[in-house]
């Protein structure tokens, strides 16, 4: 079975790894059946499969049954003579094996990242029932398959470099379940239910973008196999964020069309999503993603930076790479500034890069409204709004960042975050559209199709 696994890690000559994978693979398939996309087991999907890492042809497209998808193991090409790019051992050669003293930390880093991959598949499990078009249905399945492959990528590291501990961690990754009260996924946002396509698009925009920044920080790692795996994962991650960003953009474009034509803002009856409701989804998922970066003042972050385990986003663009004798100024909700030693503030530094990236996305979304000469805009709430993790979690704030009481937050929560009624009205819009050439009313057609095929007039998914 394992020799059919596409890979560039010389699996054929690695008996130990082959044995570990052969044990794990059937459990992975059980997990996929039980927790992966529901109801499409015999459908054929027009999917992209990673077959190599060469830039010309790393992916090929074809109709595949998802259960037959060939999850593979790929590392980005080795950089010859790569040196550690930051921290106390800067300039030393990178490691091909794990130094004993960093084993525990690296295991924790890899398991935490790994755990998010199957979680997101579990969260999306039911969304195939309500896809707005075959194009969108195909994209969510593509994402699911790639998140599955990301799990493989992390399991490869665990099984190859962590011996028995790694094999146990790999097994447990298939046992935890998103949202399961007894055995949940590690990070909060990955236990939050993704109930409809607005959730899913926002999740891909914001939570997957957290993933991009985490992977980019790990791509700097002195542990070279981790750097190479994450570098290849990043090429897939770009598509996930495209799905989220373009998905919301199409929702806004439809809302804007309907607003311009009708002069109304209560769009549910007109088959579109009111911007005020979309804004609540943005508020929710954006702030969940901010929490994923962890505490602003973190001794783990400092240790990991010093050791060369986890760097900054595009470390090579930083003016210097030691981050000693520098401070990060954290502005609290009440305007007070807390000074944190730079190495301890690496979570906040990474989060700031993420926020900037999100702001660029919002600008593109708002262009849909500007083009149609509408005054309405969507926005990102203040980073102190609705926080549960870190220094900003202590003080309740409104979306503008103004300090309010706990009572006011509770009283006005429904103005700012999705309510049960919002969700029911959104759910009522989400009727599946599975005919080539057609699309649901609540979003505009995609600008471009996939793999050279037409955007709507193609049977991206064939039901049996
Ligand atoms: Fe992923
Ligand atoms: Fe992703």
- Alpha-carbon distance values, 316 to 83, 86, 91, 220 (Å): 12, 9, 13, 9
Ligand 2 center to 376 CA (angstroms): 30
pLDDT (0 to 100) of residue 1: 46
Q: Of the bound ligands, which one is closest to the alpha carbon of residue 243?
A: 2
Report the alpha-carbon distance of residue 322 to residue 89 in Å, rounded.
9
User: What is the dihedral sign for C-alpha 82, 292, 201, 136?
Assistant: positive
Q: Of the bound ligands, which one is closest to the alpha carbon of residue 205?
A: 2
Question: How many H-runs (helices) and E-runs (strands) does the chain carry?
Answer: 12, 5
Report the alpha-carbon distance of residue 277 to residue 9 in Å, rounded.
47
pLDDT (0 to 100) of residue 24: 97
Predicted structure pTM score = 0.96
pLDDT (0 to 100) of residue 432: 97
pLDDT (0 to 100) of residue 57: 66
pLDDT (0 to 100) of residue 399: 98
Q: Indicate the angle between helix axes 15-35 and 163-173, nearest 10 degrees.
A: 10
Ligand 1 center to 117 CA (angstroms): 5
Ligand 1 center to 259 CA (angstroms): 36
Q: Is 411 left (phi over 0), alpha (psi -120 to 50) or beta?
A: alpha
Report the alpha-carbon distance of residue 78 to residue 141 in Å, rounded.
30
For tokens 């880093």, name the residue.
109
Ligand 2 center to 203 CA (angstroms): 9
Q: Of the bound ligands, which one is closest to the alpha carbon of residue 152?
A: 1
Report the alpha-carbon distance of residue 116 to residue 186 in Å, rounded.
8
Whether 254 and 272 have beta carbons less than 8 Å apart is answered as: yes
Ligand 1 center to 372 CA (angstroms): 35
Ligand 1 center to 227 CA (angstroms): 15
Ligand 2 center to 264 CA (angstroms): 36
pLDDT (0 to 100) of residue 352: 98
pLDDT tens by residue, 255-290 = 999 999 999 999 999 999 999 999 999 999 999 999
Ligand 2 center to 298 CA (angstroms): 25
**Hey, which residues does 49 pair with through a beta bridge?**
60
Ligand 1 center to 239 CA (angstroms): 10
Ligand 2 center to 348 CA (angstroms): 21
pLDDT (0 to 100) of residue 394: 82
pLDDT (0 to 100) of residue 54: 80
For tokens 């790479």, name the residue.
321
Ligand 2 center to 241 CA (angstroms): 7
Catalogue all structural domains in the chain, each as residue range(s) with its CATH number: 2-462 (1.10.620.20)
Ligand 1 center to 444 CA (angstroms): 27
Low-confidence ranges of the chain (pLDDT < 70): 1-3, 56-57
Ligand 2 center to 143 CA (angstroms): 7
Among candidates 341, 431, 330, which has minimal Cα distance to 384? Answer: 330
């Amino acid at each position: 079975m394992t020799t059919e696994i596409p890979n560039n890690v010389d699996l054929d000559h690695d008996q130990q790894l082959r044995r570990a994978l052969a044990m794990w693979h059937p459990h992975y398939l059980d997990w996929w059946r039980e927790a992966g996309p529901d109801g499409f087991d015999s459908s054929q999907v027009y999917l992209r499969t990673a077959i190599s890492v060469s830039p010309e042809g790393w992916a090929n497209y074809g109709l595949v049954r998802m259960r037959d998808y060939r999850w593979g193991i790929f590392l980005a090409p080795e950089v010859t003579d790569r040196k550690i790019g930051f921290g106390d051992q800067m300039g030393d050669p990178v490691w091909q094996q794990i130094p004993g003293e960093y084993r525990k930390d690296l295991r924790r880093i890899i398991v935490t990242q790994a755990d998010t991959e199957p979680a997101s598949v579990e969260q999306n499990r039911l969304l195939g029932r309500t896809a707005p078009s075959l194009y969108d249905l195909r994209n969510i399945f593509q994402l699911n398959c790639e998140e599955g492959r990301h799990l493989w990528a992390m399991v490869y590291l665990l099984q190859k470099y962590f011996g028995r501990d790694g094999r146990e961690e790999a097994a447990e990754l298939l046992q935890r379940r998103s949202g399961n009260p007894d055995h949940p996924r590690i990070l909060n946002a990955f236990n939050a239910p993704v109930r409809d396509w607005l959730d899913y698009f926002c999740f891909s925009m914001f939570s997957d973008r957290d993933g991009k920044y985490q992977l980019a920080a790990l791509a700097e790692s002195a542990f070279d196999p981790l750097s190479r795996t994450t570098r290849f994962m990043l090429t897939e991650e770009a598509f996930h964020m495209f799905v989220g960003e373009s998905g919301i953009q199409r929702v806004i474009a439809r809302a804007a069309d309907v607003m311009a034509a009708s002069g109304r803002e209560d769009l549910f009856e007109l088959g579109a999503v009111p911007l005020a409701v979309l804004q609540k989804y943005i508020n929710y998922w954006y702030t969940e993603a901010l929490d994923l970066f962890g505490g602003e003042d973190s001794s783990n972050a400092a240790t990991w930076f010093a050791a060369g385990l986890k760097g900054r986003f595009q470390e090579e663009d930083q003016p210097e790479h030691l981050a000693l004798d520098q401070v990060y100024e954290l502005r609290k909700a009440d305007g007070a500034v807390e000074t944190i030693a730079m190495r301890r503030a690496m979570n906040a530094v990474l989060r700031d890069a993420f926020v900037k990236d999100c702001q660029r996305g919002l600008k593109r979304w708002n262009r849909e409204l500007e083009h149609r000469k509408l005054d309405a805009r969507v926005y990102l709430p203040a980073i102190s709004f609705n926080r549960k993790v870190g220094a900003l979690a202590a003080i309740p704030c409104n979306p503008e960042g103004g300090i309010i009481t706990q009572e006011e937050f509770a009283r006005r929560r429904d103005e700012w975050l999705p309510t049960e009624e919002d969700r029911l009205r959104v759910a009522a819009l989400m009727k599946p559209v599975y005919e080539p050439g057609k699309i649901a009313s609540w979003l505009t057609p995609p600008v471009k199709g996939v793999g050279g095929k037409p955007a709507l007039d193609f049977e991206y998914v064939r039901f049996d």
